[in-house]
């Protein structure tokens, strides 16, 4: 049972009515439940209790400092993919030795910062990146800890935009080629081989692709062992899916049990990089109905949140459940829920059976805790919405709504142009 519930006909997060938060911060806003977040962390960590492991939260899913700080307090590390994420993670109190750095396009400045900070490891995604990291570490008089992100060529059966472990993806080094890269890395003066890594995709609803990837990696690990190449960490990435509508992904316990069984007695410390499964269903987006618009063929519910606030429906055709904040007893109608942005892809729901919403109604867009606020933009010069964290009876504004001044910060009009 999650923390978002109707009480006396009105939708609450914990003990706090969403209407009350809306009055205080305006709409739209993101709302996260702290108890749900903590429960999701425990659900992932409990099955791993007796296993040598480190969970590194994939902060691209949600990089709000208050959320990251919760991760830090629960002992989690972070999977970062940019200098900005590294900066945030450290600022939120996540120790550098619990940080892994993934991503195909690390810049030299980002590499230097990560080496200086003393991160757990770089997940290497190309031969050239390996060479650059070796050179930068040499410049800084340090050894850079690395693992190679192996692309195991398994089909994760998810949306093509979030599938990352197939031959044609830009991610990782193919399984055949990674052997040669490890051999090369071993000869590099400023590189320390510490791990092996893979991440095959996101929103996976079946364990089979994860298990296939583990099996392929085990063959590679054995072959590397024959060459005397050994390491401490096996990083299995993230990707476990959640229920948005009627998906039935394995729960974290089943996922962990299946993985542990497949890995067997390798003697390596396991690294996990979950994102969505921890935060996705711990957050919602709350928006207010601005207008109803009925055309000859359709009914549009125009709300004050747009694709700049939550881009998943526009980008992936993603489904997010729409829930009225005040329980409706009347009938339903088929409608599209759309935002104010000047694009036809600016929708939150299409052809849905919904209560008959009217101007002023509040709507909760469910399962928006992952890849919601982190993917928000200022398109159409719209300020990013605030984030609110609810802890049972209390709520905290953990990031403010941007102001119009914020939108122009750093901009300069040269006084010599006319």
User: From CA 70, how far away is CA 208, in angstroms rounded?
Assistant: 31
Our CB check for ligand LLP shows the closer of 268 and 318 to be: 318
Contact between 312 and ligand LLP per CB under 6 A: yes
Our CB check for ligand LLP shows the closer of 162 and 397 to be: 162
Q: Strand 347-355 and strand 332-338: pairing?
A: antiparallel
Contact between 28 and ligand LLP per CB under 6 A: no
Contact between 102 and ligand LLP per CB under 6 A: yes
Contact between 172 and ligand LLP per CB under 6 A: no
Contact between 309 and ligand LLP per CB under 6 A: no
Nearest distance, CB of residue 313 and ligand LLP, angstroms: 10
> In terms of Cα–Cα distance, which of 348, 326, 384 is closest to 20?
326
User: From CA 71, how far away is CA 370, in angstroms rounded?
Assistant: 14
Contact between 98 and ligand LLP per CB under 6 A: no
Place of tokens 């005040």: 326
Nearest distance, CB of residue 49 and ligand LLP, angstroms: 20
Q: Binding string, 256-295, against ligand LLP, x = CB under 6 A?
A: -----------------xxxxx------------------
Q: Binding string, 196-225, against ligand LLP, x = CB under 6 A?
A: ---x--xx----------------------
Torsion of CA 160, 161, 164, 165, to 10 degrees: 0
- The verdict on whether 342 is a catalytic residue reads yes
Rg of the chain taking only CA atoms, in angstroms: 23
Which of 209, 238, 252, 313 is the binder for ligand LLP (CB under 6 A)?
Answer: 238
Angle, CA of 268, 274 and 275, to the nearest 5°: 160
Contact between 101 and ligand LLP per CB under 6 A: no
Which of 47, 152, 237, 369 is the binder for ligand LLP (CB under 6 A)?
Answer: 237
Contact between 252 and ligand LLP per CB under 6 A: no
User: From CA 331, how far away is CA 278, in angstroms rounded?
Assistant: 35
Our CB check for ligand LLP shows the closer of 22 and 130 to be: 130
Contact between 88 and ligand LLP per CB under 6 A: no
> In terms of Cα–Cα distance, which of 276, 247, 273, 270 is closest to 371?
276
Q: Is the distance from CB of 207 to CB of 255 less than 8 angstroms? A: yes
Helices (H) then strands (E): counts for the chain: 12, 21
> Which parts of 45-74 interact with ligand LLP (CB under 6 A)?
58, 60-61
Cα torsion 220, 225, 231, 233: sign: positive
Which of 79, 85, 129, 212 is the binder for ligand LLP (CB under 6 A)?
Answer: 79
Q: Which residues in 279-361 belong to E strands, given as ranges?
A: 283-294, 299-303, 322-324, 332-338, 347-355
The residues binding ligand LLP (CB under 6 A) are 58, 60-61, 79, 102, 162, 199, 202-203, 237-240, 273-277, 312, 316, 370-371
Where in the sequence numbering do the catalytic residues fall? 342
């Amino acid at each position: 049972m999650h923390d978002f519930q109707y009480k006396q006909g009105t939708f609450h997060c914990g003990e706090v009515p969403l209407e009350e938060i809306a009055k205080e911060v305006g709409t739209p806003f993101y709302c996260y439940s702290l108890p749900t977040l903590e429960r999701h962390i425990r659900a992932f960590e409990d099955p791993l209790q007796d296993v040598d492991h480190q969970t590194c939260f994939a902060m691209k899913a949600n990089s709000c400092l208050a959320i990251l700080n919760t991760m830090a307090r629960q002992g989690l590390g972070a999977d970062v993919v940019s200098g900005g994420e590294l900066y945030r993670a450290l600022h939120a109190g996540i120790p550098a030795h619990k940080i892994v750095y993934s991503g195909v396009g690390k810049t030299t400045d980002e590499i230097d910062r990560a080496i200086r900070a003393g991160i757990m490891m770089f997940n290497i995604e190309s031969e050239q990146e390996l060479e650059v990291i070796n050179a930068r570490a040499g410049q800084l008089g340090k050894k850079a800890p690395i693992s190679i992100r192996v692309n195991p060529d398994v089909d994760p059966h998810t949306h093509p935009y979030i599938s990352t472990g197939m031959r044609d993806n830009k991610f990782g080094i193919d399984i055949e080629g990674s052997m040669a890269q490890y051999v090369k890395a071993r000869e590099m003066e400023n590189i320390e081989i510490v791990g092996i890594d893979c991440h095959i995709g996101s929103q996976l609803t079946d364990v089979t692709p994860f298990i296939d990837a583990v099996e392929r990696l085990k063959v590679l690990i054995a072959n590397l062992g024959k060459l005397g190449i050994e390491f401490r960490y096996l990083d299995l990435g993230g990707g476990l899916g959640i229920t948005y509508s009627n998906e039935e992904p394995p729960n974290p316990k089943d996922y962990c049990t299946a993985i542990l069984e497949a890995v067997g007695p390798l003697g390596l410390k396991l690294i996990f990089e979950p994102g969505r499964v921890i935060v996705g269903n711990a957050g919602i987006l709350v928006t207010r109905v601005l207008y109803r618009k009925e055309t000859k063929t359709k009914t549009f519910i125009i709300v004050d949140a747009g694709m700049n606030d939550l881009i998943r429906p526009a980008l992936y055709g993603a489904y997010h459940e729409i829930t009225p904040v005040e329980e409706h007893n009347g009938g339903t109608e088929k409608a599209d829920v759309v935002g104010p942005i000047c694009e036809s892809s600016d929708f939150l729901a299409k052809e849905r059976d919904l209560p008959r919403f009217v101007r002023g109604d509040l709507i909760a867009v469910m399962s928006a805790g992952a890849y919601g606020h982190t993917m928000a933009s200022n398109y159409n010069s719209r300020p990013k919405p605030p984030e609110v964290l609810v802890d049972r009876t209390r709520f905290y504004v953990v990031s403010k709504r941007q102001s119009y001044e914020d939108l122009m910060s750093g901009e300069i009009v040269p006084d010599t142009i006319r």
